[in-house]
Structure 1
């Protein structure tokens, strides 16, 4: 399914599900003017074509005791790329990680209970990579969907 195949109903369904993926088919249909079976069929079609990859829960890291979020830029030392990737995979505080172009190979987002956790999280990387850490102060643009 191409972007152009998303009509206004599909776009509305996606927007509603992004706010609350537990919204009932009936409630979605009532809001956008379709029957629950029509909404179900559209969701299934968007799943089948890969537009909708799944449904998930959004967690509040602060409510779980993680008071800080940080961005970590990682430049592996020569020959240490796979080792660095494994360290990042094995660090449960790393919420996501991207391989990027430029000087750094990885950009990871992770959470900390307090700033004292930083040394413990970075220590396994000290001999295999150069790192640069930035503490997230605020998010003027939260995670959002791509434009339709």
Structure 2
């Protein structure tokens, strides 16, 4: 369904989703309108699901990044998933196989916020937490 030009457009959008269609067209040798049509088609078929903004969380006060593995103590996964979806501290959440049931990436303002989050997790299961020291990529 996608050709090399589509993949090049996607690469450019991943690098800068605010790039003008005309500028993308110059790189891939298409008009801005042709680029727009290709992007619209990729949105319609679900290849492009949306656009996002990457924030520097530290500048916003989120100084602690932690990875939390949750070990469920019940089969009520729906309640945990609702808690995770409604919690602003949760940046990413995945149900996993292997050691643990879920892995989370959370960002919080303080050690107290981290403790509050972890205390809340105890309603659903036990956890293991790893604190990020430095982001590499």
Question: Given the two structures, how large is their TM-score scaled by the length of structure 2?
Answer: 0.89
Farther-moved stretch of structure 1 (82-91 vs 115-124): 82-91
Tell me the alpha carbon deviations over residues 20-51 of structure 1, each in whole angstroms, 9 at most, x when there is no partner.
11111111111221111111111111112111
Aligned residue for 1:31? 27
Matched, 1:6 2:15: no
Q: 1:48 to 1:86 in 2, by over 3 A?
A: closer
Is there any run of 5+ residues in structure 2 with no aligned partner, and where? none
Q: Distance in 2 between matches of 1:15 and 1:130?
A: 40
The 8 Å contact of residues 80 and 129 in structure 1, kept in 2 or not, is answered as: no
Runs of at least 4 residues of structure 1 off by over 4 A?
none
Question: Which residues in structure 2 correspond to 1:1-148 (within 5 Å)?
Answer: 5-140=1-136, 142=137
| Aligned-CA RMSD value | 1.7
Q: Distance in 2 between matches of 1:51 and 1:108?
A: 25
Question: Given the two structures, how large is their TM-score scaled by the length of structure 1?
Answer: 0.83
Tell me the alpha carbon deviations over residues 82-135 of structure 1, each in whole angstroms, 9 at most, x when there is no partner.
332233233210112111123422111110213332111111122431101111
Size of the aligned set, in residue pairs, is: 137
The 8 Å contact of residues 84 and 129 in structure 1, kept in 2 or not, is answered as: no
